[in-house]
Each structure stands twice: as structure tokens, then as C-alpha cells.
């Protein structure tokens, strides 16, 4: 599971939240009192750890295939091209998760501070018409007829 694997952002998470990553997972699982920012950060961290594991697997496979002691007849340009594509995709994903997690850690409220709801000001528009622009009733100024 990715929560048991290290990631390159674990030190940053610990710096922001305090406890080591395993304790952060326990705190996040504590229930409704858990910080939403912590839950999001740990979710991104899990994706990052999984992606970094994929990067390492492809890297290790390429290193094994390129081992100087291997038979040259076993080399396959198609296999190396496919590995290069896998590695590129895994590195792109890793970079995206690192950037998203870094942005979350930079922009979230400090731990322990509850996020306050944002108050939106209600704008009111008041318009006054100039006397010349005001509509004139059809019988303006006309005297009312007396009825018997």
C-alpha cells in the first residue's frame, strides 16, 4: 500500500503538520474531527508514493536490461522505447503530484486553525433618475372630475 512507502514529500509533510507520516495517517483516520487539508495532503501523498514506485520500477527494469553482463542479443529497441514512454508518463505524473501537494501545503491554513467561511459582500445597486428621465403619467396635472 502506498501509505507504507516513502515519498519525496514526506519531510515536507512532517515539517508542516508535525508528526511523522504514519501518525498523520492515524490522525486523518480519527474521524470527522480530522483536518480536511490533512486528508487531501495524504491523498496526494499516496498518489505520489505510488507514482514514485512506478518510476523506480521502470528505471530498475531499464538498468537490468542495459546491464553490461547481459547478452547483447536480448536487447530490444522496441522494449526500450516502450520503457522510455512508461518512464516519461510516470515522471510527468510524479511531477504533477509533487506540484499539487506543494501548492496545497503552501496555501492551506496553518494546522489547528479552522478555516473560516468566506463572507461575500452583497452589492446593491441604487439608481436615481433625473427628473427629465422619469416617466410622466398620462394624466399628469389633469384635474379630477367630480362625480355626483
Return the domain boundaries, the chain. 10-107
CA separation for the pair 10, 22 (Å, rounded): 10
Residues 6 or more apart whose CB falls under 8 angstroms from that of 59 comprise 87
Predicted TM-score (pTM) of this structure: 0.69
CA separation for the pair 42, 27 (Å, rounded): 11
Higher pLDDT, 62 or 115: 62
pLDDT category at 145 given cuts 50, 70, 90 is low
CA separation for the pair 135, 113 (Å, rounded): 56
CA separation for the pair 77, 109 (Å, rounded): 50
- Asked if residues 24 and 17 have their Cβ atoms less than 8 Å apart, the reply is yes
Amino acid at each position: 500500500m502506498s501509505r507504507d512507502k516513502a515519498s519525496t514529500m514526506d519531510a515536507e509533510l512532517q515539517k508542516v503538520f508535525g508528526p511523522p507520516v504514519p501518525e498523520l495517517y492515524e490522525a486523518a483516520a480519527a474521524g470527522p474531527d480530522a483536518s480536511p487539508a490533512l486528508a487531501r495532503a495524504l491523498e496526494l501523498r499516496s498518489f505520489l508514493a505510488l507514482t514514485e514506485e512506478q518510476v523506480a520500477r521502470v528505471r530498475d527494469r531499464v538498468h537490468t536490461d542495459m546491464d553490461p553482463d547481459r547478452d547483447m542479443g536480448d536487447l530490444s529497441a522496441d522494449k526500450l522505447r516502450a520503457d522510455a514512454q512508461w518512464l516519461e508518463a510516470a515522471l510527468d505524473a510524479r511531477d504533477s503530484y509533487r506540484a499539487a501537494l506543494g501548492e496545497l501545503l503552501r496555501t492551506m491554513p496553518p494546522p489547528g486553525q479552522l478555516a473560516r467561511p468566506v463572507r461575500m459582500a452583497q452589492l446593491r445597486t441604487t439608481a436615481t433618475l433625473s427628473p427629465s428621465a422619469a416617466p410622466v403619467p398620462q394624466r399628469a396635472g389633469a384635474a379630477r372630475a367630480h362625480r355626483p
